[in-house]
């Protein structure tokens, strides 16, 4: 029973990410150590070529410059690996264990490759301009400029410098993009789970009451419109009263006049 009780603990450690994070951290530390040994081996090879008897002075100076820049790149790579190992250890325990680790590894790989290629191209450019030789070909790492004429060493150095920075920056962008894509998937899954949990925790909405129905007496019918009592058109004026017409000359006098102002006839009241 003791052996079988250990296995669930291992599965629990795998589930919460402890084992995966420790394994990745150990792999990053191991990569930093291997980078150190590889740098020492390459430095020994370049130094042996640079300081061998009969080597021209410009070749020795060019290879020495290349070696210094290369060692600086290795130091930067080791710092990147150790920094990413620390970032992996600082990850919080969650239900997503692998994706955050993979995102950090993508960033570390992109940073390491970009640093290595840019420093390597810069050191090779200095060596080409000084010694008129490609140091990458001397140490078996001829990747950018296989061969060139001695009279074209200035142009070859410019091409080496431009191409190395372009390749390094492109690799950095690609690996950062992969890191953000993988991390965005985790964020989307977390937001969906959060929305689902909030919706499940919300109380149901109260029932909507029906609108009130008004019950009362029926509306009264409108009052009829009375018709006009006269058939005379509205534009015709009524005839003046009889006592306002002079009986002699038929002149219309004002109300209250006793005599006609034309003929002087008395107006009856």
The model's pLDDT over 48-75, given as tens digits with 9 standing for 90+, comes to 878 887 778 888 888 889 889 989 999 9
pLDDT at 178: 93
Spatial neighbors of 111 by CB under 8 A, at least 6 apart, are 80, 84, 172, 175
**Closest C-alpha among 99, 261, 252 to residue 188:** 99
Mean pLDDT for the chain? 78
DSSP 257: -
Would you say residue 134 has pLDDT above 60? yes
CATH of domain 2-201: 1.20.120
pLDDT at 39: 87
Tokens representing residue 256 in the block: 């209250």
3-state helix, strand, coil in the chain (%, to 5): 65, 0, 35
Spatial neighbors of 134 by CB under 8 A, at least 6 apart, are 124, 127, 128, 142, 145, 146, 147, 148, 156, 160
Average pLDDT over residues 241-265: 75
Output the CA torsion sign for 59, 62, 65, 70. negative
* Helix residue spans in 132-152 (DSSP H): 135-138
Whose tokens are 């003791």? That residue is 2
Report residue 233 CA to chain centroid gap.
83
Average pLDDT over residues 15-33: 85
Q: Could you tell me which residues are beta bridge partners of residue 252?
A: 245
Tell me if residue 245 falls in helix, strand or coil: strand
Would you say residue 157 has pLDDT above 80? yes
- Mind listing the pLDDT tens digit for each residue in 89-132? 888 777 777 888 888 999 999 999 999 889 988 988 898 888 88
Spatial neighbors of 70 by CB under 8 A, at least 6 apart, are 39, 42, 43, 46, 119, 120, 123
Q: How far is the C-alpha of 120 from the C-alpha of 130, rounded, in Å?
A: 15
């Amino acid at each position: 029973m003791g052996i079988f009780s250990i296995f669930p603990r291992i599965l629990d450690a795998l589930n919460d990410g402890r084992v995966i994070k420790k394994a990745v951290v150990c792999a990053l530390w191991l990569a930093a150590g291997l980078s150190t040994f590889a740098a020492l081996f390459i430095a020994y090879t370049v130094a042996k070529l640079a300081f061998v008897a009969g080597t021209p002075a410009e070749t020795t100076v060019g290879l020495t410059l290349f070696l210094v820049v290369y060692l600086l790149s290795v130091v930067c790579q080791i710092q990147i690996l150790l920094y990413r190992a620390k970032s992996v250890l600082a990850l919080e325990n969650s239900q997503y264990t692998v994706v955050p680790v993979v995102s950090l590894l993508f960033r570390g790989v992109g940073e390491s490759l970009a640093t290595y290629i840019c420093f390597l191209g810069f050191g090779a450019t200095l060596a080409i301009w000084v010694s008129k030789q490609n140091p990458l070909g001397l140490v078996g790492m001829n990747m950018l400029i296989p061969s060139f004429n001695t009279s074209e060493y200035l142009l070859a150095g410019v091409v080496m410098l431009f191409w190395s920075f372009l390749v390094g920056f492109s690799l950095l962008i690609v690996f950062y993009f992969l890191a953000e894509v993988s991390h965005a998937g985790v964020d989307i899954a977390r937001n969906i789970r959060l929305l689902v949990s909030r919706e499940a925790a919300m109380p149901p909405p109260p029932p909507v009451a029906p609108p009130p129905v008004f019950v009362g007496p029926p509306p009264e019918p409108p009052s009829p419109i009375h018709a006009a009592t006269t058939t005379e058109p509205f534009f015709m004026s009524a005839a003046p009263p009889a006592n306002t017409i002079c009986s002699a000359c038929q002149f219309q006098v004002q109300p209250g006049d006793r005599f006609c102002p034309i003929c002087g006839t008395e107006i009856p009241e």
